[in-house]
Every structure is written in C-alpha cells, then in structure tokens.
C-alpha cells in the first residue's frame, strides 16, 4: 500500500512516495514555490494560486508515472494567510500569504495600525478561543484589512487556506478544511469557525468550508485508472511534529529557520501560549516565532560579506563556525537574536564585547546560548519541569550543532532524544497515511 505525500511549503513544494508497508519514504521530488506577484505596495505579499495548483498536479503526475498507482494523497500546507474563491471554486483573490504585512499600515481612524484596531476589537475571550493565534499575516487579519478597505469580493465567496484551495481545485469538489490548518480561525471551545467574531470584524458574510476529519477523504484526484482519495490538508507544523513521534509528556524543541517549543495535551485549556489543534483530536500548546536559523544566517551573512565582496568564496562557512565553536569556552559575550519581530522582541543586540571575546566562536556561542535560554523560558510558559519527562530535539539546527543540544540540556535538564531526518513533514505525512489506514481498517472501510 502506498500514498503520495505533498508538502506545500513557502520555498518549495515537495512530493514523496510513501510506502506504508515498509514504513519508508521512497521517491522525493520538488518544485519551487511560485514567486510573489511583483509591483504591489510595500508589505503586500500575494501569490497567484493557480501555478501552485499546477505544480502540485505536476508532482502527482510525475510520482504516478515513476511509481505506479497509489491508494491516497495526503497533504500538509504552510499555515496562515487566506484566499477567497467564488461559488464555482474559482479564485476571487490571490493567496494573501502569511508573510503579508499590510495590516501594519496605519488605520485611517487614527488609532494605530489596522492590526492594533483588530486587536482592540478582539476580546480576551475571542483571543483565547482562537488559541491566541493572531498575527499580522493571519487569515483574520488580512480579511479585516480587506473589509475595512471595501475590497472584499462583491459576490458570494468562500474563504480558505492555500492547501484547501489546491485540493479542491485538483479534485473538482467543494473545499474541506481540517482544524490543524485553520490557524486562528476556529473557536477551540466549540470546534467550529468563530463566526460571531468574524461578524464583529466586518467579514461575517463570507462563507467557510466544512470542517472535516483528517481520515475522511474530501474528494478524488482523477486518473485514467480511477479516482485517488485525497484527504484534507493539515498544518505543516503539526505534520513535522507528527513525524517526530511526539508523545505525551515529551517537550518538543524544533529549530530550523524559526523555532517552536511545544507540548501535547489531551484537552484545550487557554494559557500564556498558543494552542493549535493536533492530529487525533489532541492539542498542541506551543510558543512559536522564536529566533533560530534566520537570525544565525544573518550573522553568517555579515561575516561573509567582505570576503564575498572581494571575490573570495567560502563554500562551507558553517564548517568553519563549528570548528571555532569547539575551540571556544568563554561564556561572557552576550547575544540577543531578536533581529526581527519575534515572540521575544524585535530588537536584537550583541553586548559585553571586549577585544578578547570578539571572535567567531564567541559570537556563535553567545547566539546558541541565547537560543537555549529562549527555549527554556518558552518551556516554562508551557508548564513546570514536571510537565514532561523527555525533550525531543528536531530541525536542522538541533541536528547539526552538538553544542546547541548540550546548551539546551543545561537549560532544560533531563533525557533528550534527537530526531535525525531532513524530511520531517514527509515523515509526518507517512505516519498520517498509516493512521488513516488504521482508522479505516478499524471501521471496515
């Protein structure tokens, strides 16, 4: 038995052949994610959704040509953002990406930015109900901006995530949303779209897809041999953690471009953290947008700018950095990696600098110490140390930097396990396909 797994990411769209019997990911193919539309106002970040649909279709067709028939298609997608489609399923807007920042423009009412006004109109009860997921590029924020500017489509339309639109277009069926992808739009206390809040924000007339189960197919991908069942798209964050086999009483620290610290729970309880629906009816309490690879790469870019300007190529800058880290034992150079808007601030710093510690090794040790401290602080927001028995480390940075794992162990004592895979989301989709198979066998479907 085999499935095709599709990961609709922000830089690439990846497809994997998922062998359920062997428990392995076979063929892996990739297409670049389409470039944003040019010529838009500053802060506006839009993607034409049709090329996304066509690139996913091409990946599926290539997979089928290379591997033969399959039993189903499972998908994960980038979270946040929104697009609107008309009653016939045709896109009425571009995909307004999670990277869109138009809500940080000044509101004409003089009460700050559009996002400030949105937050003011959102009660604490609303904020808790949506899992405290309210960001400038979130679906609710972008829809609020459209409503405030009279730019919602004039006819009947339906809002959905990018993954929902892609699958609906491929299958020629009504879109079905799954709660893990509906970031900050579902009332977690009721398991339904938070329509009363939408009404107060000015886009209550918009329709929304049916919320479906992850193990119930939403349509079939047409082939000459018959339709292939397609299952609702899930969030890429949850897919990656599902791929780590995260269990209850395990604290997840996932660090790649960005970082998240997360803890599974059986029931929803609001707190000083974000809450996201998880596979199997569970929830993920999480702190996201922690500085990680993006900030580290900023330091690398700074250090390599002069040699590159002089025509000197450094093919393995990280290899040199790792060597310098091994030679450094000082701990007094302080780095704050909040070089961009994050959950720990938007102004970073490098302090306590002396000539003796102004070295590559000291700089990156200070950066990794800051990461570990941020992870520890985030973990304490999720619960005290008695809330977990083991720390699960995943993501490329945790895999490649032993010192970071050591520093995390200093800040969050206890047993660790490190997930060594570069295909976390596809591995999560493989496990999802096996979950679907088990559920269907249990119900005789």
Q: Which of 59-63, 163-167, 243-247, 326-330 has the lowest mean pLDDT?
A: 326-330
Burial (0-12, 13-18, 19+ Cβ within 10 Å), 430: buried
Is the confidence at residue 300, as pLDDT, over 80?
A: yes
Looking at residue 330, what is its pLDDT? 80
Mean pLDDT within 303-330: 92
Is the confidence at residue 12, as pLDDT, over 80?
A: yes
pLDDT band at 444 (very low <50, low <70, confident <90, very high): low
Asked if the domains at 2-237+424-443 and 246-418 fall in one CATH topology, the answer is: yes
The tokens describing 345, both together, are 């601030």
- Interval 352-381: pLDDT, tens: 999 999 999 999 999 999 999 999 999 999
Q: What is the CATH number of domain 2-237+424-443?
A: 3.30.420.40
Mean pLDDT within 388-394: 96
Looking at residue 331, what is its pLDDT? 84
Give pairs for 122-126: CB < 8 Å, separation 24+. 122/197, 126/194, 126/197
- Interval 41-51: pLDDT, tens: 999 999 999 99
Is the confidence at residue 443, as pLDDT, over 70?
A: no
Nearest to 236 by CA among 209, 211, 254: 254
pLDDT band at 440 (very low <50, low <70, confident <90, very high): confident
Looking at residue 421, what is its pLDDT? 84
What gap in Å lies between CA 267 and CA 119, rounded to an integer? 26
| Cβ neighbours around 218 below 10 Å, total | 23
- Interval 180-218: pLDDT, tens: 999 999 999 999 999 999 999 999 999 999 999 999 999
DSSP string over 387-412: G-SEEEEESHHHHH-HHHHHHHHHHS
Is the confidence at residue 441, as pLDDT, over 80?
A: no
Mean pLDDT within 260-289: 95
What gap in Å lies between CA 20 and CA 2, rounded to an integer? 6
Nearest to 401 by CA among 391, 412, 393: 393
Looking at residue 281, what is its pLDDT? 92
Q: What is the CATH number of domain 246-418?
A: 3.30.420.40
- Interval 394-419: pLDDT, tens: 999 999 999 999 999 999 999 999 99
- Interval 101-124: pLDDT, tens: 999 999 999 989 999 999 999 999
Helix (H) or strand (E) holding 277: strand 274-277
- Interval 134-156: pLDDT, tens: 999 999 999 999 999 999 998 89
Is the confidence at residue 22, as pLDDT, over 60?
A: yes
Check: CB of residue 263 under 8 Å from CB of residue 252. Answer: yes
Q: What is the mean pLDDT of the chain?
A: 95
Kindly list the domain boundaries of the chain, sorted by start residue: 2-237+424-443, 246-418
CA angle, 254 as apex, 244 and 281 as ends, to 5°? 55
Is the confidence at residue 445, as pLDDT, over 70?
A: no
């Amino acid at each position: 038995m085999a499935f095709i797994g599709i990961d609709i990411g922000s830089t690439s769209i990846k497809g994997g052949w998922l062998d359920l019997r062997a428990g392995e990911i076979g063929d892996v193919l990739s297409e670049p994610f389409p470039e944003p539309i040019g010529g838009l106002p500053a802060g506006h970040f839009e993607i034409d959704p049709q090329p996304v649909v066509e690139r996913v279709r091409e990946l599926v067709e290539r997979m089928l040509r290379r591997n033969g028939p399959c039993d189903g298609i499972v998908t994960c997608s980038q979270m946040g953002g929104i697009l609107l489609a008309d009653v016939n399923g045709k896109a009425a807007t571009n995909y307004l990406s999670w990277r869109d920042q138009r809500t940080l423009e000044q509101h004409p009412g003089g009460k700050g930015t559009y996002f400030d006004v949105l937050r003011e109109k959102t009660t604490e009860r609303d904020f808790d109900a949506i899992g405290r997921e309210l960001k400038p590029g979130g679906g609710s924020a972008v829809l609020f901006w459209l409503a405030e500017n009279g730019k919602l489509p004039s006819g009947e339309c339906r809002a959905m995530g990018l993954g929902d639109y892609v699958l609906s277009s491929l299958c020629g069926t009504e879109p079905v949303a799954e709660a893990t992808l509906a970031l900050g739009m579902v009332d977690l206390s009721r398991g339904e779209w938070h329509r009363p809040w939408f009404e107060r924000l000015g886009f209550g007339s918009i329709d929304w897809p049916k919320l479906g189960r992850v193990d119930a197919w939403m349509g079939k991908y047409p082939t000459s041999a018959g339709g292939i069942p397609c299952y609702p798209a899930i969030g890429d964050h949850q897919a990656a953690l599902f791929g780590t086999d995260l269990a209850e009483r395990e604290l997840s620290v996932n660090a790649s471009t960005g970082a998240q610290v997360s803890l599974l729970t059986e029931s929803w309880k609001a707190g000083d953290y974000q809450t996201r629906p998880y596979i199997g009816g569970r929830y993920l309490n999480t702190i996201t947008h922690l500085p990680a690879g993006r900030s580290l790469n900023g330091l690398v870019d700074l250090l390599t700018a002069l040699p590159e300007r002089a025509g000197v190529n450094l093919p393995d800058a990280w290899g040199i950095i790792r060597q310098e880290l091994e030679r450094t034992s000082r701990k007094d150079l302080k780095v704050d990696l909040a070089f961009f808007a994050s959950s720990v601030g938007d102004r970073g710093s490098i302090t306590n600098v002396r000539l003796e510690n102004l070295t590559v090794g000291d700089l990156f040790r200070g950066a990794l110490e800051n990461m570990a401290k941020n992870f520890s602080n985030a973990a304490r927001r999720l619960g005290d140390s008695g809330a977990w028995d083991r720390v699960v480390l995943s993501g490329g940075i945790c895999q490649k930097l032993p010192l970071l794992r050591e520093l995390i162990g200093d800040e969050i004592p206890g047993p660790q396990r490190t997930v060594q895979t570069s295909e976390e989301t596809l591995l999560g989709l493989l496990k999802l396909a096996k979950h679907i198979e088990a559920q269907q066998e249990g119900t005789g479907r």
